[in-house]
């Protein structure tokens, strides 16, 4: 039994997922900074509503763009569609390695696989991620 199961939550989920994210992106500071900014806004947006699962929000905020790296390695480029294609299996592997609640990983995969296109799911965490990412992408353009 891992730390998340049996109703016991993983301690310090942000720290654990950030560590996994940093290990994955290595010295790509721009991607890590972006993920942290999205997490900041996602946390703010989540504090204004009560219909989101915090585990899912933290995981999708930090891991939503992990598809960029395998897409660039395999195809030499990335775009919204390839990020959606390559991201979910990477997120699954990272979260499984942390003992993240297994029953929530499918939702995380659905959201990461849909965060750049018209929503196919009605998870509140999907709209929240899209909004947080929009805010950060707008700020980063300035």
Q: Which residues bind Fe ion (CB under 5 A)?
A: 65, 133
When the beta carbons of 57 and 101 are compared against Fe ion, the nearer one is 57
CA–chain centroid gap for 119, Å, is 16
Q: Which residue, 10 or 36, has its beta carbon nearer to Fe ion? A: 36
Q: Based on CB atoms, which residue is closest to Fe ion, 65 or 125?
A: 65
CA distance 96 to 99: 5
User: What is the smallest separation between the CB atom of 7 and Fe ion, expressed in angstroms?
Assistant: 32
Instruction: State in angstroms the smallest separation of the CB of 70 from Fe ion.
Output: 16
Q: Which is nearer to Fe ion, 55 or 133 (CB)?
A: 133
Least spacing, CB of residue 38 vs Fe ion, in Å: 6
Query: How big is the CA angle at 66 (ends 77 and 119), to the nearest 5 degrees?
Result: 90
- Give the span between the Cα atoms of 88 and 10, in whole angstroms: 21
- Residue showing the smallest CB distance to Fe ion in the complex: 133
In angstroms, what is the minimal distance from the CB of 49 to Fe ion? 21
First to last CA, the chain: 47
Distances 50 to 58, 76, 99, 100, 122 between C-alpha atoms, Å: 15, 41, 25, 21, 15
């Amino acid at each position: 039994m891992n730390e998340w199961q049996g109703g016991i939550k993983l301690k310090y989920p942000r720290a654990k997922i950030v560590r996994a994210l940093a290990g994955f992106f290595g010295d790509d500071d721009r991607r890590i900074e972006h993920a942290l900014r999205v997490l900041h806004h996602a946390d703010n947006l989540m504090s204004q509503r009560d219909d989101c699962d915090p585990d899912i929000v933290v995981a999708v905020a930090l891991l939503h763009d992990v598809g960029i790296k395998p897409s660039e390695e395999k195809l030499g480029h990335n775009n919204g569609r390839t990020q959606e294609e390559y991201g979910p299996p990477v997120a699954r592997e990272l979260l499984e390695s942390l003992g993240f609640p297994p029953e929530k990983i499918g939702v995380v995969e659905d959201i990461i696989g849909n965060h750049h296109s018209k929503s196919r799911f009605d998870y509140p965490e999907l709209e929240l991620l899209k909004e947080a990412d929009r805010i950060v992408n707008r700020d980063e353009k300035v």
